[in-house]
Amino acid sequence: MADNKKAKDRAQDAPNKGPVWSYQSNRVSASVFEHRQDDGGVRRTIAICRSYFDRDEGVWKRTHFYDERDLPDVETCKFEATKYLNARSSTEAEAA
């Protein structure tokens, strides 16, 4: 339980940071976020979502559900995110 509380406290203390990288293919977008670790390392997470307009509320929203026609764009976003992450890994390996 203490480890869970510690992780929650760390998350609340962290500044609100946006993505370090983003890519969009039609209505699907991907973003990469960096999370600093206690050991000085960096953990990266990837979010892939689809935008849609909610006519009832009159606002744009995001979802992690996709129509069949979105799958090529999901694949494109995944491919581009992988390229970005591989480039980051190569750059970091050369610097070490």
Q: Is residue 18 part of a domain?
A: no
Q: Is residue 51 part of a domain?
A: yes
Q: Is residue 11 part of a domain?
A: no
Q: Is residue 12 part of a domain?
A: no
Number of domains comprising the chain: 1
pTM summary value: 0.76
Q: Is residue 88 part of a domain?
A: yes
**Alpha-carbon separation of residue 22 from 10, 58, 81 (angstroms):** 25, 25, 8
Q: Is residue 4 part of a domain?
A: no
Rounded to an integer, what distance in angstroms lies between the CA atom of residue 66 and that of residue 93?
35
Q: Is residue 79 part of a domain?
A: yes
Averaged confidence pLDDT in the chain: 87
Rounded to an integer, what distance in angstroms lies between the CA atom of residue 75 and that of residue 22?
15
Task: Print the domain residue range for 88.
Answer: 31-96
pLDDT tens per residue across span 83-96: 999 999 888 878 77
- Residue 16 confidence (pLDDT): 59
